[in-house]
């Protein structure tokens, strides 16, 4: 039997509200005590505004995004459904910590704008939801998550896919940021550009010198072959369909795919230099240094392949 996230969220919301009300009551009682001690009845009141209570209430969208972030952490092995706290943040990898849900084997998770691969981020997320909440409630849980996110799309899967495609990395950078120093993401997004030709996440703590080469051969080149095949299929539809609406849709999609394929080919040139360089990172150097190092080939040239490089590499203020 499966579990509904909506039911779990109601329980969480009730728990947060109870904790909020209790803390507010405690703070107001302390205020009354101090007002009485110091005789400040004419100058102060014990009431505390909701915004000043030092514990957060439940927030549906924020909490659903946190759930998604945790799920991505499980996909990479940062977290495990079988152990509390961090399961892996560098050092020796221990497979025995992952029984219920097995992390992605090669530390590369593609994000596509359509469903091309079973092992893309949406496919892995659905697999995680099945493990945690059960197979028979998957569709209801996807609907609940999609509604909370408010992303564009016709179906729940499309809405969640668009969240991963357009907003997940921005939210991740916001979560992993340091006031005055900037963003410190631990999941890095390889991003070919505005056409969304190629996107893939890696986990910094599992990076090795072969990661970029594997990403190029097993994912980027694979993506290019998919685009080439889909362009041929759209052209065949244009040539042989007698339905004018169908032809129009195919022509529009073919144009999009051609732009994505060109973007991938341009991106492949940059990735190629970095893959051949087999770049080593030192986690002790921090995110900013390593973000630049990973994009600097052995010839000393900088090839921008990671998302939001300008802001993430910005000097500390």
Whether residue 316 is predicted with pLDDT greater than 60 in this model: the reply is: no
Domains of the chain: total: 3
| For range 226-250, the mean pLDDT | 96
Q: Indicate whether 251 and 272 sit together in one domain.
A: yes
Q: Are 220 and 261 in contact (CB under 8 A)?
A: no
Percentage above 90 pLDDT, the chain: 79
Helix (H) or strand (E) holding 98: none
Is position 46 within any domain? yes
Domain carrying residue 258: 178-312
Is position 242 within any domain? yes
Residue 60 CA neighbour count, 13 Å, CB half: 11
Is position 173 within any domain? no
Query: Would you tell me how many other CB atoms lie within 10 Å of the CB of residue 23?
Result: 14
Q: Which residue has the tokens 């169908």?
A: 246
Q: Indicate whether 201 and 305 sit together in one domain.
A: yes
Q: Indicate whether 34 and 135 sit together in one domain.
A: no
| Structure confidence by residue, pLDDT tens digits, 170-205 | 999 999 887 666 789 999 999 999 999 999 999 999
Q: Indicate whether 186 and 297 sit together in one domain.
A: yes
Is position 172 within any domain? no
Q: Indicate whether 14 and 32 sit together in one domain.
A: yes
Could you tell me the pLDDT band of residue 29, with boundaries at 50, 70 and 90? confident
SS3 70: helix
Q: Indicate whether 33 and 98 sit together in one domain.
A: no
Alpha helices in 105-217, H assignment, sequence order = 121-133, 138-149, 156-166, 168-175, 211-215
Could you tell me the pLDDT band of residue 248, with boundaries at 50, 70 and 90? very high
Residue finishing a domain among 166, 194, 212? 166
């Amino acid at each position: 039997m499966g579990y509904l996230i909506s039911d779990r969220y109601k329980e969480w919301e009730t728990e947060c509200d109870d904790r909020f009300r209790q803390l507010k009551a405690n703070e107001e009682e302390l205020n009354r005590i101090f007002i009485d001690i110091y005789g400040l009845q004419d100058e102060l009141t014990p009431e505390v505004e909701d915004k000043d209570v030092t514990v957060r209430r439940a927030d549906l969208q924020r909490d659903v995004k946190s759930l998604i972030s945790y799920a991505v952490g499980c996909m990479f092995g940062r977290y495990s459904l079988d152990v509390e706290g961090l399961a892996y943040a560098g050092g020796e990898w221990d497979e025995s910590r992952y029984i219920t849900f097995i992390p992605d084997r090669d530390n590369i998770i593609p994000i596509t704008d359509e469903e091309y691969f079973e092992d893309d981020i949406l496919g892995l997320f659905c697999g995680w939801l099945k493990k945690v909440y059960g197979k028979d409630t998957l569709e209801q849980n996807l609907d609940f998550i999609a509604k909370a996110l408010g992303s564009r799309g016709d179906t729940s899967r499309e809405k969640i896919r668009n969240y991963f495609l357009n907003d997940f990395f921005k939210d991740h950078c916001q979560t992993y940021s340091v006031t005055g120093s900037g963003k410190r993401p631990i999941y890095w997004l390889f991003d070919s550009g505005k056409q969304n030709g190629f996107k893939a996440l890696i986990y910094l703590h599992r990076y090795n010198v072969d990661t970029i080469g594997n990403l190029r051969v097993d994912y980027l080149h694979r993506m290019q072959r998919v685009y080439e095949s889909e362009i041929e299929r759209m052209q065949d539809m244009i040539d042989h369909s007698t339905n004018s609406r169908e032809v129009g849709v195919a022509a529009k999609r073919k144009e999009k795919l051609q732009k994505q394929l060109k973007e991938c080919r341009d991106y492949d040139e940059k990735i190629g230099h970095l893959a051949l360089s087999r770049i080593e990172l030192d986690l002790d150097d921090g995110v900013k240094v390593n973000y630049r190092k990973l994009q600097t080939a052995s010839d000393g040239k900088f090839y921008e392949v990671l998302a939001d490089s300008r802001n993430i590499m910005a000097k500390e203020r």
